[in-house]
Structure 1
Amino acid sequence: MWRNIASNAVSFLVVALFLLGGIIVWGRAEYTSQGPLDQAICLQVKPGSNMRRVSNDLADQGAVSSAAIFRMGADYEEKTSQLKAGSFLVEPGTSMSEIVETVTKGGASTCGTEVVYRIGVNRVSVQVRELDPATSRFVERAEFNPDEDEVPAIYNDMKAQADTRFRIALAEGVTSWQIVNAMKSMDVLEGEVAEVPAEGSLAPDSYEVRPGDDRAAVVARMEAAQEKRIADAWAARDPDLPIESPEELLTLASIVEKETGVAAERRQVASVFVNRLNQGMRLQTDPTVIYGITKGEGVLGRGLRRSELRAETPWNTYVINGLPPTPIANPGLASLMAAAQPDESDYIFFVADGTGGHAFAVTLAEHNANVAVWRQIEAERAAESEATTGDN
Structure 2
Amino acid sequence: MKSTLAKLVALGLLLVACVGGWLALGWWGGAEVEEETAFTVASGSTLTSVANDLEEAGHIASADAFLLRAKIFGSGDPIKAGEFMLAAGASAASILDTFQHGAAIAYSITIPEGTPSVVVHDLLMAEELLVGDIPVPEEGSVLPDTYNFERGEERIAVLARMQRAMDETLAELWPNRTSRTVATTPEEAVVLASIVEKETGVPEERREVAGLYSNRIRQGIMLQADPTIIYPITRGRPLGRRIRQSEIQAINDYNTYSMVGLPRGPITNPGRASIEAVLNPAETNAIYMVADGSGGHEFNETLEGHNAAVERWFALRRERGEM
TM, length-normalised to structure 2:
0.68
Alignment correspondent of 1:176:
117
Q: State which drifts further: 241-250 or 274-283.
A: 241-250
Please report the RMSD computed on the Cα atoms of aligned residues, expressed in angstroms. 2.1
CA distance 1:85–1:233, change in 2 (3 Å): same
**1:288-310 CA distance string (max 9 Å, x none):** 111121123x2111111111111
% same residue: 43
Query: Which string of whole-angstrom CA distances, capped at 9 and with x for unpartnered residues, describes residues 88-112 of structure 1?
Result: xxxxxxxxxxxxxxxx98446xxxx
For 1:372-391, list aligned pairs within 5 A.
372-382=311-321
Tell me the equivalent position of 1:272: 212
The structure 2 residue matched to 1:249, chosen from 189, 213, 225, is: 189
Of 278, 301, 306 in structure 2, the residue corresponding to residue 339 of structure 1 is 278
Q: 8 Å contact 2:183–2:279 — kept in the other structure?
A: no
Show the counterpart of 1:78. Answer: none
Q: Does structure 1 retain, via aligned residues, the 8 Å contact 2:189–2:278?
A: yes
Offset of 1:178 from its aligned partner? Answer: 1.0
Alignment partner for residue 320 of structure 1, among 225, 243, 259? 259
Which is richer in strand? 1
The superposition leaves residues 175-196 of structure 1 with CA deviations (integer Å, 9 ceiling, x where unpaired) of 1111112322221110111x22
- The Cα offsets for residues 267-292 of structure 1, whole Å up to 9 and x where unpaired, read as 00000000001111110110111112
Partner of 2:230: 290
What is the CA–CA distance in structure 2 between the aligned matches of 1:47 and 1:185, rounded to whole Å?
Answer: 22
Q: Given the alignment of the two structures, is residue 185 of structure 1 paired with residue 126 of structure 2, yes or no?
A: yes
C-alpha distance after superposition, 1:138-159 (max 9, x if no partner): xxxxxxxxxxxxxxxxxxxxxx
**Alignment partner of 1:262 is 2:199:** no
Structure 1 residue 317, shift from structure 2 partner: 0.2
Give 1:46 shift.
3.8
Match of 1:221 in 2: 161
Superposition map of 1:123-272 within 5 A: 165-193=106-134, 195-272=135-212
Structure 1 residue identity aligned to 2:123: A
Matched AA of 2:241? R
Distance 1:239 1:269 in 2: 17
Shift of the 47–169 alpha-carbon distance from structure 1 to 2, 3 Å rule, reads: closer
| Paired letter, 1:168 | I
Instruction: Identify unmatched segments of 5+ residues in structure 1.
Output: 1-43, 49-83, 88-103, 109-162, 387-392
Gaps of 5+ in 2: 1-34, 40-83, 88-99
Counterpart of 1:356 in structure 2 is: 295
- Cα distance in 2 between the residues matched to 1:372 and 1:86: 65
Higher relative contact order, structure no. (Cα contacts within 8 Å, ≥ 6 residues apart):
2
| Residues 210 and 282 in structure 2, CA contact (< 8 A), matched pair in contact too | yes
Measure, in 1, the Cα distance between the counterparts of 2:136 and 2:246.
29
**Separation in structure 2 between the aligned mates of residue 47 and residue 362 of structure 1, nearest angstrom:** 61
SS at match of 1:184: helix
What is the DSSP-based 3-state SS (H/G/I as helix, E as strand, rest coil) of the residue aligned with 1:380? Answer: helix
Residues 181-219 of structure 1 deviation map (CA, whole Å, 9 limit, x = unaligned): 2322221110111x2221110010001111101011100
Pairs aligned (count): 233
Q: Which amino acid in 1 is paired with 2:256?
A: T
1:366 partner amino acid:
G
Distance (whole Å) between structure 2 residues aligned to residue 252 and residue 300 of structure 1 = 21
Shift of 1:233: 2.1
Match of 1:21 in 2: none
TM-score by length of 1: 0.56
- Following TM superposition, by how much is the alpha carbon of 1:45 offset from its aligned partner in structure 2, in angstroms? 4.7
Please state whether the residue corresponding to 1:85 is helix, strand or coil: strand
Asked whether 1:305 is paired with 2:235, we answer no
- Does the C-alpha gap of structure 1 residues 295 and 47 become closer, same or farther in structure 2, counting only changes over 3 Å? closer
